[in-house]
């Protein structure tokens, strides 16, 4: 026989009704639970469809002719054709091959410079006192909070002053500052906090310098963080449109994003070639992600079971 506690039995609930203990409350009907679960599934499916629909349209229309795209853009490509990709790669102005090459060079060089700079600075920050670390992180957070459009004009003026405007070194130098470096520092600092101080002290007792400790001991331990930084920064730099458009200029060269913009006509659009260019622009980032996806997933789930 279940006994109701005295304090629960004597205290009236809201509305003058006696509150029951959790063991005697009426459970949620199974039908209501099933309806709630189905509603959550429908909402999740709708949100997923919103994100997947542009990718689906790009994939199916990249292998369809202009007539079939205009007739039914959501239909699967049957029979598929490679004419769109061929026309994009064999344009007389070489706009797409040059754009892919330039985007790859800019992204690789920028990330190759940001990773060692960000990780070394993060190693220095992670070993400082609380106030010094907090002050530096607050200053770096401005790079994440200030929109890049606000700093675009001052950046161009600085590059013009030092003679690097309308050049690829100037574009790479612009990528080293702002939110890209701040993002790398914040990711690395979070991972380097988990590196035990005993390992650092033991290496110093063995005569290792700070540079050697950072490169040979700390960097292998934060490999998932490096994969996370590389993937995010590569995608951001690859998809960047404003910096290449204003820093390089349309007459000095282009990346794949500005090249895609230049292929859109004023009065007519070749949708088949446009979707083919979109497909080519997405192949390299997807291939890079598949190469380091294990380290990327490890970086996202690090500490989840601690």
Q: Please, which pLDDT band fits residue 303 given cuts at 50, 70 and 90? A: very low
300 phi and psi, to 5 degrees? -75, -35
Over 60: is that where the pLDDT of 10 sits? no
User: Crossing angle of helices 95-126/223-239, nearest 10°?
Assistant: 140
Checking 56-63 for CB contacts under 8 A at 24+ apart, the result is 57/275, 58/275, 58/278, 58/279, 58/282, 59/279, 61/271, 61/272, 61/275, 62/272, 62/275, 62/276, 62/278, 62/279
pLDDT of residue 28: 59
Greatest mean pLDDT among 33-42, 164-173, 281-290 lies in: 164-173
Retrieve residue 174's tokens. 């612009």
Model pLDDT for residues 22-78, shown as the tens digit of each residue: 555 555 567 777 777 778 888 888 888 888 888 888 888 888 888 888 888 888 888
Residue that wins the pLDDT comparison between 168 and 294: 168
Model pLDDT for residues 77-128, shown as the tens digit of each residue: 888 888 888 888 888 878 888 888 899 999 999 999 999 999 999 998 888 7
Retrieve residue 296's tokens. 């990327």
Q: How far is CA 163 from CA 45, 151, 152, 153, 216, in A?
A: 52, 18, 16, 15, 37
Retrieve residue 268's tokens. 């007519």
CA 172 vs. chain centroid, Å, equals: 18
User: From CA 261, how far away is CA 256, in angstroms rounded?
Assistant: 9
Q: Which of 228, 271, 209 is nearest to 84 (CA)?
A: 271
User: From CA 91, how far away is CA 275, in angstroms rounded?
Assistant: 15
pLDDT of residue 211: 87
The pTM of the full predicted model, rounded to 2 decimals, is 0.77
Over 70: is that where the pLDDT of 270 sits? yes
What average pLDDT does this structure show over 179-203?
87
Q: Please, which pLDDT band fits residue 299 given cuts at 50, 70 and 90? A: low
Residue ranges of the domains in the chain? 35-81, 85-299
pLDDT of residue 250: 67
Query: Is the separation of the CB atoms in 98 and 254 below 8 Å?
Result: yes
What average pLDDT does this structure show over 219-234?
88
User: From CA 184, how far away is CA 205, in angstroms rounded?
Assistant: 29
Query: Is the separation of the CB atoms in 133 and 125 below 8 Å?
Result: yes
Task: Kindly tell me the burial class for residue 113, based on how many C-beta atoms sit within 10 Å of its own C-beta (0-12, 13-18, 19 or more).
Answer: middle
CATH 1.10.3720.10 holds for 85-299: yes
Model pLDDT for residues 228-267, shown as the tens digit of each residue: 898 899 989 998 888 888 888 766 668 888 888 877 766 5
pLDDT of residue 305: 44
Retrieve residue 173's tokens. 């130098």
């Amino acid at each position: 026989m279940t006994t109701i506690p005295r304090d629960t039995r004597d205290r009236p609930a809201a509305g003058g009704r006696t509150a029951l203990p959790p063991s005697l409350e009426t459970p949620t009907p199974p039908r209501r639970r099933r309806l709630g679960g189905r509603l959550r599934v429908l909402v999740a499916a709708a949100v997923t469809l919103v994100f997947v629909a542009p990718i689906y349209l790009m994939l199916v229309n990249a292998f369809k002719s202009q007539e079939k795209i205009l007739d039914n853009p959501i239909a699967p490509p049957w029979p598929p054709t490679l004419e769109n990709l061929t026309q994009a790669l064999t344009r007389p102005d070489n706009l797409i091959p040059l754009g892919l090459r330039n985007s790859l060079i800019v992204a690789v060089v920028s990330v190759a410079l940001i990773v060692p700079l960000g990780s070394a600075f993060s190693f220095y920050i992670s070993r400082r006192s609380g106030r010094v670390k907090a002050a530096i992180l607050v200053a770096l957070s401005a790079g994440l909070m200030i929109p890049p459009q606000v700093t675009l004009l001052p950046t161009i003026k600085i590059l013009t002053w030092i003679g690097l405007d309308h050049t690829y070194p100037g574009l790479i130098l612009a990528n080293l500052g702002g939110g890209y470096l701040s993002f790398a520092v914040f990711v690395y600092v979070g991972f380097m906090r988990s590196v035990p101080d005993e390992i650092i002290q033991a290496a110093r007792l063995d005569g290792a310098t700070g540079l050697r400790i950072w490169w040979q001991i700390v960097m292998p331990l934060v490999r998932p963080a490096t994969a996370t930084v590389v993937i995010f920064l590569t995608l951001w730099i690859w998809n960047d449109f404003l910096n290449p458009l204003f820093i390089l200029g349309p007459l000095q060269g282009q990346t794949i994003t500005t090249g895609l913009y230049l292929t859109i006509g004023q009065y007519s659009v070749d949708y088949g070639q446009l979707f083919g260019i979109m497909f080519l622009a997405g192949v390299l980032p997807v291939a890079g992600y598949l190469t380091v996806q294990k380290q990327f997933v490890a970086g996202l789930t690090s500490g989840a079971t601690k």
